[in-house]
Structure 1
């Protein structure tokens, strides 16, 4: 993929800690906690199905090549998850068109997946494109750039097609781009609270390490959460019902944020581990 296809790098944005007031931090925490609980209360049984390792790695690499803020990558993953669950549910619950062979009950479902397979790369890119527009300090992927990038990876599309795909995803999300929780935002706010409550904690260094830990957990989420599920259920082969109930753990951004920070603390300064665990638990 030629570097000239991508936007020029944006000026680096340094995340400054210990500058938010107590009242602002309190409001942020209350808001994030509410959004997290609302999300957990409205989860689909399919939640997490579109957080496959290869797919997330693809989105992270695309975000890096486009020189977007890492926040955009995590947000694109959440947008894709929410859109695909809703979109597939609508497609598969639509009455089978007249003329479909009665003796081939799977033909319509197969046709839906075949058609979706063709559009999927563009849908993924549309989620990244929409996410880029939420973080104005970063680059915004316009349609000209989108067409060039998609062409470079073998997808011949017009600007009109890119626009239609973006609008389809936007409409499918009911124009609510801020609804899905973003795990990196939870990490940032929790670190800010940690730095406010205990100035001796090296939150600036922890922040850099948390990026790596969060990315690792995101890419290895299946192995990590499967191991956690087996441990909590004490069952090598958990039932379908147990897995469906466990979705409230795998999709809990507050829990993930706390876990990422404690792991980063253990790696960076193990002597602070117990103190940090106590402060953010």
Structure 2
């Protein structure tokens, strides 16, 4: 807690979202845009998608955001930025070497050099992703280079302001400054807004507090939860590589994740009415109630297993 007072860029309490203040027309446009973006991303999904959402990396990003006093949305946005950057950057480096007509031996040597370079700069890339994400969030103050440098140095990774600036610029240029992409929390909060508009009896603000915790749990346990979903979907305890490849579109589906998080939270918050919430979510998104309930069952299984250990 003391460290947060040193590094925090946030001088007040975190602002909680206020529901019920967006007009139906605007809300419809936002949901439609999120749905189209999600479909487009799923069409372009790579077999390597999700590799940088490994629990240790997610935990590191969340830790940085907590120590800097940032809102939860910043962490999810930073993870999206980091993953997109690393995938594009590595691809550019590898393809650049191949385009030069290097021998296989030179290529292997180059790939090892790339790996070592990324390993040395990875933590700095994490911090830079958080910096960029903080500039996109309406409720968090910007993490400037002074704050970032103090944090990096305290973490035992001394760096100069120029190195921090170069790291941030590299990410922005590699992604062609396209960093304002929807994150999982955006989907959850938008769906909650629509849910509250359709059914005034749903206590959206209370449900949101549970959703934030459930989404965090799922991200920290992402690999094991989606592995269980894959086994459940295929009915096979050892899914084939082909089945795993096809399942990537499920694990990267942010709309499914959004409705799943809300459904799990509804069950935890008020189990007697959660099926009604599932029906509403099906009507809003078109995702079948069976798929939502399957997601809920698997997630609750891991939540209860974790809390009982």
TM-score normalized by the length of structure 1:
0.94
**CA shift in 2, pair 1:55/1:120, >3 Å:** same
- Counterparts of 1:208-223 in structure 2, within 5 Å, are 208-223=209-224
Any conservation in 1 of the 2:193–2:204 contact (CA below 8 Å)?
Answer: yes
- Provide the rounded CA distance (Å) in 2 between the counterparts of 1:266 and 1:102: 55
Deviation string 1:28-68 (CA, Å, 9 cap, x unpaired) is: 11011011111111112210000010110111111111111
Question: What does 1:218-233 correspond to in 2, within 5 Å?
Answer: 218-233=219-234
Q: Does the 8 Å CA contact 2:152/2:159 hold for their aligned counterparts?
A: yes
Asked if structure 1 preserves the Cα contact closer than 8 Å seen for 2:42 and 2:249, the reply is: yes
Report the equivalent of 2:159.
Answer: 157
Contact 1:206-1:264 within 8 A present in 2 as well: yes
User: What corresponds to 2:191 in structure 1?
Assistant: 190
SS in 1 for 2:143: coil
Q: 1:41 to 1:97 in 2, by over 3 A?
A: closer
Q: CA deviation at 1:24?
A: 1.2
Give the Cα–Cα distance (whole angstroms) in 1 for the partners of residues 38 and 103 of structure 2: 44
Structural RMSD (CA): 1.9
Determine if contact 2:10/2:140 at 8 Å carries over to the other structure: no
SS at match of 1:50: helix
Q: Report deviation, 1:93.
A: 2.1
Gaps of 5+ in 2: 283-309
Seen in structure 2, the aligned counterparts of structure 1 residues 132 and 245 have a Cα distance that, compared at 3 Å, is same
Q: 2:273: which partner in 1?
A: 272
SS at match of 1:123: helix
Q: Within 5 Å, which residues of 2 pair with 1:117-266?
A: 117-179=119-181, 181-266=182-267
Specify every segment of 5 or more residues in structure 1 that has no aligned partner in the other structure, as ranges: none
Paired with 1:166 and 1:103, the residues of 2 have a C-alpha distance of 32
Q: Which residue of 2 aligns with 1:81?
A: 83
> Matched residues in 2 for 1:103 and 1:128: separation?
37
Deviations 1:216-274 (A, max 9, x none): 01111100100111111122221222111111111111000000000000111111111
Stretches of 4+ aligned residues off by more than 4 angstroms: 100-105
Shift of 1:11: 3.8
C-alpha deviation, 1:167, in angstroms: 0.3
Matched residues in 1 for 2:138 and 2:71: separation? 10
Between Structure 1 and Structure 2, how many residues are aligned? 280
Q: Do the aligned partners of residues 122 and 265 (structure 1) sit closer, same or farther apart at CA in structure 2, a change above 3 Å counting?
A: same
Aligned 8 A contact 1:96 1:108 in 2: no
1:7 CA drift (Å): 2.4
